[in-house]
Amino acid sequence: MKYYSTNRQAPVATLEEAVVKGLAADKGLFMPEAIKSLPQEFYGSIEQLSFQEIAYHVADAFFGEDVPAETLKQIVYDTLSFDVPLVRVKDAIYSLELFHGPTLAFKDVGGRFMARLLGHFIRKEGKKQVNVLVATSGDTGSAVANGFLGVEGIHVYVLYPKGKVSEIQEKQFTTLGRNITALEVDGTFDDCQALVKSAFMDKELNEHLQLTSANSINVARFLPQAFYYFYAYAQLKKIGKAENAVFCVPSGNFGNITAGLFGKKMGLPVKRFIAANNKNDIFYQYLLTGLYNPRPSVATIANAMDVGDPSNFARVLDLYDASHAAISSDISGTTYTDEQIRETVKKTYQETRYLLDPHGACGYRALEENLQPGEIGVFLETAHPAKFLDTVESIIGEEVEIPVKLQAFMKGEKKSLPMTKEFADFKQYLLSL
Ligand SMILES: N[C@@H](CCOP(=O)(O)O)C(=O)O
């Protein structure tokens, strides 16, 4: 399969080139030339398949031409060593719990898949060291750092905005050492993302180092996120609730919802999507006005969604031929203040005893407010509430139990390097390596 750039000014790439480069030479995002529909028989009996079996079918449609079947199967099965259960919260609203992986956030799926696929390409080609640059507003950093920890031939640099991620999130990527380096940037997530993208475009740097990205701009990070939409559908089908499924996705950089849109293009019977924003509501405003106006992100309690210029908007436009009408017919939007998020966590916990995290709360509330009669709503519960311990405990006024996996991260000592948001400083640092 070949990959083209959303900016259409760069040569098409092989899968390996797209994964190893991350971003196209014209600063566009790579898109697969074909989105294959999966056969009706697959959907007809999908509820009989395991998560790993379903994911392998989806992975095969994208990567099967370029990765030997046994290798791809191994990558998928190793990646998905945890479950993604669908849990009913209230009425027709279900939570797709994406926080049962090693770092307790949905990014574990893409992070682990990409680490394994990149590792495969490095071994196959005997490549020199690949340096992964990743910008995080909270969850990507930990998933990528943990997914790549100890992978030979790869060094990961995590760029994160100083003081704008939760304490536990920070611990998850600053305490690992080995092939993981954390850079604490005096700026916002958007500054971190801009530093990373500028590095990919810099000729001198790219002659000095082999660089790639592990944000959802990388096809190997973002496409695997489609796996769990199919699995959610299978779980709905098992309980006879698969008609009129609506997926509601807490959205920041828009990689997660874009993976769901790919699923729909592959024939997954999804009625519609809702993108739930926090106050960084650039996409919501786009739906209202037809104008895309990126702006500096503001800090919220749903910090992983604090993105002011969502990278994957380019892919959404590409998927729908830049038609605002077509996009709006598949996706609606919502936006919530911190106050509304707090209110939702509290009320839902009091009513149902289900504890939402601040991101999931945006998704849940959007369904509560927008679900039509006859529709079944699934919101993506993107991270475990304990990752936002202080926030969540202060909202519900109770102690939250910290899963053992998280406790382990909290014991380590934070190690990070300070970095300004000036590209010249970042470049100098990378050149000194
Ligand atoms: N929400 C992210 C921001 C980066 O998103 P990505 O999906 O492009 O990696 C985070 O938690 O870091």
d(CA 304, ligand 1 centre) in Å: 6
Quote the CA–CA distance of 296 and 333 in Å, as a whole number: 20
Domains annotated on the chain, with CATH: 82-104+222-400 (3.40.50.1100)
CA atoms of 319 and 339, how far apart (whole Å): 34
Whether 320 contacts 214, CB under 8 Å: no
Q: Whose C-alpha lies nearest to ligand 1, atom 11? A: 139
DSSP of 411-433, one letter per residue? TSPP--EEE-S-HHHHHHHHHT-
What is the CA(252)–ligand 1 centre distance, in A?
7
137 CA from centroid of ligand 1 (Å): 6
Hey, whose CA ends up nearest to atom 5 of ligand 1? 253
Q: What is the CA radius of gyration of the chain?
A: 20
Catalytic status, residue 203: no
State which of 29, 107, 357 you would mutate to test the pocket of ligand 1, scoring each by most atoms of that ligand within 8 A of its C-beta.
107
DSSP code string of 280-335: --HHHHHHHHS----------SSGGG--SS-TTHHHHHHHTTT-HHHHHHHEEEEE
Q: Do 165 and 137 form a contact (C-beta atoms < 8 A)?
A: yes
- Tell me the two tokens of residue 78: 């190793």
> Rounded CA gap, 93 and 408, in Å?
32
The per-residue pLDDT for range 114-129, each reduced to its tens digit, is 999 999 998 887 777 8
**Nearest CA residue ID for atom 1, ligand 1:** 304
Ligand 1 pocket, CB under 6 A: 136-141, 215-216, 252-253, 255, 304, 307, 311
Sign of CA dihedral 200, 202, 203, 206: negative
Query: Of residues 2, 21, 36, 107, which has the active-site annotation?
Result: 107
The residue whose CA is least distant from atom 12 of ligand 1 is: 136
Of ligand 1's listed atoms, the one at least distance from the Cα of 255 is: 7
Atom of ligand 1 nearest to the CA of 107: 7
- Cα 51–Cα 53–Cα 58 angle in degrees, nearest 5: 95
Segment (H or E) for 248 = strand 245-250
pLDDT in the model for residue 126: 75
CA of 217 to the centre of ligand 1 (A): 10
* The pLDDT of residue 300: 97
Report the distance separating Cα 341 and Cα 276, nearest Å: 11
Please give the number of the atom of ligand 1 that sits closest to the Cα of 215.
Answer: 9
H helices within 151-254, ranges in order? 167-174, 189-201, 203-208, 219-222, 227-238
Residue nearest to ligand 1 atom 9, measured at CA: 215
Q: Tens-digit pLDDT profile for the chain (433 aa)?
A: 999 999 999 999 999 999 999 999 999 999 999 999 999 999 999 999 999 999 999 999 999 999 999 999 999 999 999 999 999 999 999 999 999 999 999 999 999 999 999 999 988 877 778 999 999 999 999 999 999 999 989 999 999 999 999 999 999 999 999 999 999 999 999 999 999 999 999 999 999 999 999 999 999 999 999 999 999 999 999 999 999 999 999 999 999 999 999 999 999 999 999 999 999 999 999 999 999 999 999 999 999 999 999 999 999 999 999 999 999 999 999 999 999 999 999 999 999 999 999 999 999 999 999 999 999 999 999 999 999 999 999 999 999 999 999 998 888 999 999 999 999 999 999 999 9
Substitution candidate for ligand 1 out of 29, 133, 174, 216 with most atoms within 8 A of CB: 216
- In the chain, the N- to C-terminal Cα span, in Å, equals 34
**DSSP states along 163-185:** T-S-HHHHHHHHS--TTEEEEEE
Which of ligand 1's atoms lies nearest the C-alpha of 141? 12
The Å distance, Cα 139 to ligand 1 centre, comes to 6
Cα–Cα distance for residue pair 163/79, rounded to 1 Å: 31
Predicted pLDDT of residue 241: 98
Rounded distance from Cα 103 to ligand 1 centre (Å): 14
The model's pLDDT over 212-240, given as tens digits with 9 standing for 90+, comes to 999 999 999 999 999 999 999 999 999 99
Q: What is the largest CA-CA distance in the chain?
A: 60
